[in-house]
């Protein structure tokens, strides 16, 4: 049976590259049109009609692309470009949520796009494992959410809210004494973010391999999914788009027909089925990039395919990987080389 905590350990954005005028200027410089096959290190946006999400011209993959281009390694540069020119989730850090959210959303607006933000700071996060941490307490988390909201203001954003936060209430990973507070924090976060003019919120809802929708839908309801735009599935995981659609549709039927989004960042070859089942989610070999981010999906209930997990950033210190969220060039290359 697949590990029911398989959606965890996602990357967090580096605050050093999101603040100040440098990012905004970079956002302006790449606001041009569609992908044009520029052979240099420049990053361009995808066609807006199918992919309205902002591509960060200074993301980790973009910097790797520049390094390969500068060194003359065209083969590796061509592979990394597959990641660098796609929009990926920007994981808001704990220290400067207002500045980070403002930086990303202002850069996206200058490019005429929508920012994709991931909020991952719930107290008692990840049950003490690779991505443990989060806000010190409930009040700290509420203040952090307020900062994110002040940073977004009326600019266009899609927010993926708290990967694993609901799942870990269901699977027994989060102690019972924290449950009531977590539900309250999630409901409050949804209410705060939905008070913004142009922000859509999708609450994380696990993946196709952890269990059955019957096990999680009551907790999603208690966490306020009815007030959100929908839910997210397969975050940081590898289940196929087909399986994720099936799981999402079953879950949708139990939560009022809510729409959902799917993380397709690394699901091109489906889940890893060898080795220790408890570690299959963590930096599995032989995986590939999945469908590119788009709003043109295979089912009307699926609002978008998104790259929530940042391809090439580690799941944790397993299988030779660096710490969770750190860039791992060789793994990024393998994902790109394995894709169609």
Q: Per residue of the chain (340 residues), give pLDDT as tens.
A: 333 333 333 334 344 444 443 343 333 333 333 343 444 568 889 899 989 999 999 999 999 999 999 999 999 999 999 999 999 999 999 999 999 999 999 999 999 999 999 999 999 997 766 667 799 999 999 999 999 999 999 999 999 999 999 999 999 899 999 999 999 999 999 999 999 999 999 999 999 999 999 999 999 999 999 999 999 999 999 999 999 999 999 999 999 999 999 999 999 999 999 988 888 999 999 999 999 999 999 999 999 999 999 999 999 999 999 999 999 999 999 999 999 7
Q: What is the rounded distance in angstroms from the CA atom of residue 114 to the CA atom of residue 110?
A: 10
Beta carbons of 215 and 170 less than 8 angstroms apart: yes
Only one residue has tokens 């799917």, namely 262
The domains found in the chain, sorted by start residue, are: 15-27+41-337 (3.20.20.40)
CA nearest to 108, candidates 42, 173, 163, 153: 153
Residue 188's alpha-carbon distances to 40, 182, 258, in angstroms, are 45, 10, 19
248, two tokens: 């999402």
pLDDT tens string 14-27:
444 444 433 433 33
Q: Which residues are annotated as a binding site for substrate?
A: 91, 210, 237, 281, 309, 313
| DSSP-derived 3-state class of residue 117 | strand
pTM of the model: 0.90
Q: What is the rounded distance in angstroms from the CA atom of residue 2 to the CA atom of residue 277?
A: 6
- Positions annotated as catalytic residues are 164, 315
142, two tokens: 């509420």
Q: What is the rounded distance in angstroms from the CA atom of residue 276 to the CA atom of residue 12?
A: 26
Beta carbons of 31 and 191 less than 8 angstroms apart: no
């Amino acid at each position: 049976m697949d590990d029911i905590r398989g959606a965890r350990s996602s990357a967090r954005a580096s605050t050093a590259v999101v603040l100040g005028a440098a990012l905004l200027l970079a956002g302006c410089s790449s606001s041009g049109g569609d992908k044009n096959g520029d052979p240099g290190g420049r990053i361009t946006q995808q066609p807006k009609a199918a992919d309205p999400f902002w591509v960060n011209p200074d993301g980790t993959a973009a910097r790797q692309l520049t390094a390969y281009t500068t060194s003359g390694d065209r083969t590796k540069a061509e592979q990394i470009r597959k990641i660098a020119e796609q929009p990926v989730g920007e994981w808001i850090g704990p220290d400067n949520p207002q500045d980070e959210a403002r930086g990303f959303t202002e850069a996206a607006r200058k490019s005429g796009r929508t920012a994709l933000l991931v909020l991952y700071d719930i107290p008692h996060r990840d049950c003490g494992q690779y991505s443990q941490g989060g806000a010190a307490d409930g009040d700290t988390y509420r203040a952090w959410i307020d900062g994110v909201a002040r940073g977004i203001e009326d600019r266009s954003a899609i927010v993926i809210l708290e990967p694993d936060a609901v799942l870990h209430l269901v699977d027994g990973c989060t102690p019972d004494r924290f449950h009531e507070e977590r539900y309250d924090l999630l409901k409050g976060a949804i209410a705060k973010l939905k008070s913004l003019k142009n922000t859509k919120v999708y609450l994380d809802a696990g993946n196709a391999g952890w269990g059955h929708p019957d096990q999680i839908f009551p907790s999603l309801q208690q966490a306020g999914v009815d007030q959100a735009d929908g839910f997210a599935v397969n975050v940081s995981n590898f289940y196929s788009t087909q399986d994720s659609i099936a799981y999402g549709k079953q879950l949708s039927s139990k939560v009022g027909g809510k729409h959902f989004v799917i993380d397709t960042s690394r699901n091109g070859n489906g889940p890893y089925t060898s080795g220790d089942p408890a570690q299959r989610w963590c930096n599995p070999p032989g995986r590939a990039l999945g469908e590119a981010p788009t709003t043109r999906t295979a089912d009307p209930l699926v609002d978008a395919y998104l790259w929530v997990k940042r391809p090439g950033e580690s799941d944790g210190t397993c299988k030779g990987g660096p710490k969770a969220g750190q860039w791992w060039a060789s793994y990024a290359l393998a994902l790109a080389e394995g894709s169609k």
